[in-house]
Amino acid sequence: MRELGIGLIGTGFMGRAHALAFNNARAVFELPVRLKLAALADADTERAQRCATAWGFAQAHGDWQALINDPNVDVVAITTPNHLHYPMAMAAIAAGKSVYCEKPLAVSLEQADAMRRAASAAGVVTRVGYNYQHNPMIGLARELIAKGDLGDIISFQGEFSEDFMADPASPWSWRCEVEHAGGALADLGSHLLSMARYLVGDVVSVCADTQTVHGQRPAVHSSKAMKSIAVDDQVHALLRFANGARGTVSSSWLKHGYKNHLSFEISGTQGTLAFDQERLNELRLCRAGQDGFQRLLAGPALPGYAAFSPAAGHQLGYNELKTLEVQELIMAVAGQGANGTDFEAAWEVERLATAIRQAAREERWVNVNAA
């Protein structure tokens, strides 16, 4: 069996999630290749070595370029702050290696365009970490829509809100830097935009409003020194889909009480379905003529679920969704699958986000294709 070497850049929350997912994928699925956790890189050399040992990677690097140059690495997983996605991905593509990059793809549409073009020219497999779409319940929602159970789709109402920046005394971080991140729209809203496209289809035009609620934050925790904030704290947008449906999306990292509120309702001429990531093993469905909603629970009849549990109601979690995403990545690298969000699809999300920012800035409807 062919061996596939995995290289991981970054050791934060997402680095650990990727490491867990690669380890879990080896244990849960019968993969067509043998995974080898070949190398891990972090700018902190001591942390790189410590995490490599704890997570099962054979080699530690204090320089990400050394990981990309490592002949034992075939797939480069990028879990760094957003502004590093572009140089790391471009270097990996130039080295002929597959790339698994966290979202959003880049900090500008120009970077995202260059990344997808380079990947296409090199013929390498790429995937981007829109892991919520790998939920078996989202697969069921897409199946119901495709089968026509909701009739013609007429509306999408979506929200992704959390409260981790709700306290104005929360300190500045790289997420607050325009050149490094992109605000609530990039951090949270990109997931929602990707979900809307995945379930309903292309968006052709947008109108939007963005707001920076807290214009300053402490430079560091409990500091009296303040740093100015220019990124959006919240965004609201109207969408017009190519199939004629209309939509709304909103995203905020200031909304008290919400921890992972990626939610949507999709309505058609024959029904409505609703989902909330905070109850990720459930889907609510109402068909025309019903009194209220039916609750659909995740179970082993849904693709992917049975790999983790043979019984319904036992629940999947965030790390299982990441494992399902890694499985589809590995299948694609092995030439046995095409599921998942590649750089081309992720560029479409970035183009949509760019149109939303332009619409908010210019206070008008914007054609997505012209953004």
Domains of the chain, residue spans:
3-131, 135-314+341-370
Query: What per-residue confidence (pLDDT) applies to 177?
Result: 87
Mean pLDDT of 143-147: 98
Residue in the block written with tokens 């992704």: 160
pLDDT at position 348 is 98
Read off the pLDDT band of 244 (50, 70, 90).
Answer: very high
C-beta of residue 363 within 8 angstroms of C-beta of residue 114: no
Query: Is residue 315 classed exposed, middle or buried when 0-12, 13-18 and 19+ CB atoms within 10 A define those classes?
Result: middle
pTM, 2 dp: 0.96
| Banded pLDDT at 15 (limits 50, 70, 90) | very high
Token output for 76: 């480069």
Q: Are 119 and 126 in contact (CB under 8 A)?
A: yes
What single string gives the DSSP state of each residue in 52-98?
A: HHHHT-SEEESSHHHHHH-TT-SEEEE-S-GGGHHHHHHHHHHTT-E
pLDDT for position 167: 95
**Which whole number is the average pLDDT over 299-328?**
96
In angstroms, how far is CA 186 from the centroid of its own chain?
10
Residue 193, pLDDT above cutoff 90: yes
Give Dmax (Cα) for the chain: 62
Residue 271 clears pLDDT 90, i.e. is over it: yes
Query: 98 forms bridges with which residues in the sheet?
Result: 75
Q: Is 128 exposed, middle or buried (0-12, 13-18, 19+ CB in 10 A)?
A: buried
**pLDDT attached to residue 171:** 94
Residue 170: strand, helix, or coil = coil
DSSP assignment string, 254-277:
--TT-SSEEEEEEEETTEEEEEEG
pLDDT in tens, 35-67: 999 999 999 999 999 999 999 999 999 999 999
Mean pLDDT value across the chain: 97
Q: What is the pLDDT of residue 178?
A: 85
Say if residues 14 and 79 touch (Cβ distance below 8 Å): yes
Which pLDDT score is estimated for 179?
84
The mean pLDDT of 315-322, rounded to a whole number, is 97
Helix/strand/coil for 303: coil
DSSP 190-212: HHHHHHHHHHT--EEEEEEEEE-
Q: pLDDT at residue 181 above 90? A: no
Q: What token pair was written down for 347?
A: 């560029």
> Are the CB atoms for 163 and 184 separated by under 8 Å?
no
Would you tell me which CATH number, out of the four given (3.30.360.10, 3.40.50.720, 3.50.50.60, 1.10.3720.10), belongs to the domain 135-314+341-370? 3.30.360.10
Query: Under CATH, which architecture does the 3-131 domain have?
Result: 3-Layer(aba) Sandwich (3.40)
324-347 pLDDT, tens digit per residue, is: 999 999 999 999 999 999 999 999
Confidence band for 180, pLDDT divided at 50, 70 and 90:
confident
Whether 133 contacts 191, CB under 8 Å: no
Is the pLDDT score of 359 beyond 90? Answer: yes
- Packing angle of the helix pair 343-362, 109-122 (nearest 10 deg): 160
Section 109-124 average pLDDT: 98
Average pLDDT estimate for 274-295:
97
For residue 81, cis peptide bond before it (omega within 30 degrees of 0)? no
Mean pLDDT of the 18-29 span: 97
Q: How far is CA 88 from the centre of its chain?
A: 18
Average pLDDT estimate for 135-151: 98
217 three-class SS: strand
Strand, coil or helix: 319: helix
Cα separation values, 140 from 135, 147, 275, 281, Å: 9, 10, 11, 11
182 — pLDDT class (breaks 50, 70, 90): confident
Q: What is the mean pLDDT of residues 98-124?
A: 97
Q: In the prediction, which pLDDT does 107 show? A: 95
